[in-house]
Structure 1
C-alpha cells in the first residue's frame, strides 16, 4: 500500500466520533494528512512540522516526549507517551495519550501513523471538534472564520454564497459595504486589541423601505500559532428580539407618560387654586386703580403696578414649571444647573400641596452642579420622591422634607430625606420593583420608583435608598458636565 492509498483509507474513518485525531507524517515529522478539524483547517497543516504544531501548546519537556516517541517509530518501534497539552482557546490543561506507529509504504518510504486521544472526553478537548461542528452547522446562527486580511476561510452554512460565488475565498469588503463594513472593521480592531475576548455589535440591514433585519455579531481574535491569526465570528438574527424590545420600550414610554399625566391630573385642582390666587390679587388692584381714577397718586399707582407684576411673575413661574414637566421629548437633553431644576420641582410640588404644615428645606453645598439631562424627566423623578415623602409622613407631628445638593469629583448628588423613620428592610428590598407599592389603590400604582430609577439610569446615574440613614433617605447621582 502506498502512502496516498493509506491516506484515502483513513479519510473513510469517523475518528472524530471516536474522539481521536489521526495523522500521517513523513520522516521529517511533517504532516502528510490529519483528520478533520473544526473549521476545516486540515489542509493548512500539510507540510507543517508536528513540533511547530505543538508550539505554544506544550512545554519544552512535553515536546521532548513527542520527539522521543517519533524517533522510536522511525526505528520501527511503537512510540507511546502521555503528554499534557494546553488548549489553544481557553488555556485549559488536558492530558492526552499519544501513539506513533511505524509504517513503510510500497515505495520504501518511511512513514509514521499517529493517533492522539484525550484521557477525559469533554468540550474543552480539541478532538471533540466533530460534535462542536455538528452543533455549529445545525445552529440557526452563522459561524464564520476570517483570516488576518478579512478573507472568508470558513462559513458554517455549507451553501453560503454571494453573487452566485461561494463565500469562502471572498473578502468581507466584497460582501459588506457602508456603515456595516465600517462596524466590521471597528469590531475586528477591538478584537485584535483584546485577544480572546468577545466583541459584540448590532448590525441593521434594510430589506425594503418598511422592513429591516437586525443581527448581533460577536467576534473573537485568536493566534493559532503556525496556522496564523484568525477572527472567529458568530452572527445571530435578533430581529424578533429587537422588535419585542422596541415594543417594550414603547410601552414603558406610554406608562411613563401616563404616570406623569396622572400626577398632573392629581395636582390640577391645586394648580388652578395657585393660579386663581394671584389672578384675584391682580383683579383687586386693577379695580382699585379704576375706582380712584385721577385721584390716585403716582406713588400709589407704581405700588399697585409692582404688585400686579409680582403676581404675574408668580403665574409665569407656575406655567414655566408645568411646561418643563409636561415635555414629552425624552431624547432632548441639555446642560443645565441641577439646583435650578430642584427649585422648579419644589415650586411645582408646592402648587399641588394642600398641607401648609409641611416644611421644605433645600441646601446647596455643591461646588459644581452642571448636568446634561432631560429636565422634564428629572423633575418627574424629584416630584415623585417629594410625593412619596409627603404621603409617608402624613399624620406625623413633625413633617419636613430636606433636599441636599452635593458633589464629588465626577458626580452631582441629590439627597431627598424626610422626617419618616426609614423603611423596613423587607419592604426596602422591593420598593424599586415594578407594581410594588405599600399605598392604597387610590394613591399608588407601584410604578413611580421603578420608572424613576430607569430614568436616572438612562442618564448614566443611580437612584438608591440609603438604609443606613436615621431618616428615610433616597440618593440620586448624576454625571457632572463641564463647560467647554
Structure 2
C-alpha cells in the first residue's frame, strides 16, 4: 500500500467514526479534522486546516479550548474535558473531549489530538432528572407536612383559644378601669406566650416547606433541628395517643448539614412510626442519640415488633409501600435514604433491635 493510500485509508477511518476528531499543532493551528467535525460546524476540511482556533471560534469559546490544550501540552499526558461549542446553527453542543499529546522522535510535544463524544442529550437528561428530583423532594416534603396538618391546626388553635379567652378578660378589666394591676400583667404575658408559640409553629412550618436542595450545608445545632421538628409532630401524636420520649441534648452539639433535609428524614420516620403504632395496644415512639468522634447518630424506635424479613430488603425501594392505596406514595424512605447519602451519611434498619428501629447517621463535618 502506498503512502497516499495509507493516508486515504486513515482519513476514511476517521471520517466514519461517530465522534468529532481533530489534530492541532502547539500553536493552535488545525492539522486535520474528520467528517463529524465538518458536519458539526458546516465547514469543509480545506477551510479549516491551517487556521487557528481564534480564526474559527468566538473568543470566549476558544479561550477555554486553548487553555485545555495548553494543559495537555504542559503536562504531556492525556486529559478529559467537558467542553461546550456552538454548531453552525448557533446551538450549544456539549462534548466529553479526550485530548492527548503527539510526540516527535525527540520526545517533544508537537501536536494535540482530540476525540469528542457528544453528551448534550445526556446532560439535558441529567438536568431534567435533577429538576424532577427537586419537585419530588418538595412534593414529599409537602406530603409529610400534610400528614401532620390536623395536628398542626390543633397546635395553633390551642394558643388562639387562649388568646381569645384572655383578650375577653382584658376587655372586662378595661371596662372596669383595672388596667394597672397584677392580673392585667399576667393576662398580657399569657397572650404574649401564646403568640410566641404560634410564631414558633409557623416558623417551623415555613422553614420546613421551603426549597432547600441548593442551600449550602451549614453547621447547625441538633437541638434546633429537633425543636422545630417537634413543633410539627406533637399535635398529630397527641391526637393518635402516641407518646414521644427523647433525652435532652446538648445545644453545643452541631452537625454540618442542610437542616431542613435532616428534618425531612426524621419527620418521615416519625410519620411512618405514628402510622404503624396508632393501631397497636402500646403506642410509643422513642428517639435516641449517639455522638461519636466523627458521626452523629439518630435512632427512631417505636413500639412495633420490627420489619418482617420478607419485605425488609424492599423497604427503601421507590414506590414500595405497606400502606393502603391512597395512603402514602412509597417514596418517603427512598427519598430519605437519598438525602442521607447526599450528606455522606446512611439510613438503615437495625435488624437486631427488639422494636422497629431506624438509624440515621450523619457526619459532623462534610468533606
Alignment partner of 1:358 is 2:236: no
Alignment partner of 1:289 is 2:289: no
Match of 1:153 among 31, 45, 55: 31
- CA 1:199–1:476: 2 relative to 1, 3 Å: farther
Cα offset for 1:302?
1.6
Alignment partner of 1:462 is 2:341: no
Cα distance in 1 for residues equivalent to 2:61 and 2:221: 37
**Alignment partner of 1:294: what SS?**
coil
- CA 1:153–1:396: 2 relative to 1, 3 Å: farther
Structure 2 gap ranges (5+): none
**Alignment partner of 2:177: what SS?**
helix
Equivalent pair of 2:69/2:99 in contact (CA under 8 Å): no
Question: Bigger relative contact order, structure 1 or 2, given CA contacts below 8 A and separation 6+?
Answer: 2
Deviations along 1:175-229, whole A, 9 cap, x unmatched? 3431563265247637965935x52325264888xx8433122324356462743
Aligned length: 353
Alignment partner of 1:308 is 2:209: no
Match of 1:380 in 2: 264
- CA 1:259–1:171: 2 relative to 1, 3 Å: same
- CA 1:206–1:365: 2 relative to 1, 3 Å: farther
TM-score by length of 1: 0.61
- CA 1:204–1:153: 2 relative to 1, 3 Å: closer
Cα distance in 2 for residues equivalent to 1:407 and 1:194: 46
Deviations along 1:148-177, whole A, 9 cap, x unmatched? 444433322287378775333333344343
Cα distance in 2 for residues equivalent to 1:380 and 1:245: 24
Cα distance in 2 for residues equivalent to 1:449 and 1:312: 35
RMSD, aligned α-carbons: 3.7
Cα offset for 1:334?
6.3
Larger Rg: 1
TM-score by length of 2: 0.78
Match of 1:217 among 96, 111, 114: 96
Equivalent pair of 1:435/1:445 in contact (CA under 8 Å): yes
Cα distance in 2 for residues equivalent to 1:422 and 1:37: 71
**Alignment partner of 1:143: what SS?**
strand
Equivalent pair of 2:96/2:119 in contact (CA under 8 Å): no
- CA 1:145–1:206: 2 relative to 1, 3 Å: closer
Match of 2:118 in 1: 237
After TM superposition, list the pairs within 5 Å mapping 1:120-139 onto structure 2.
134=13, 136-139=14-17
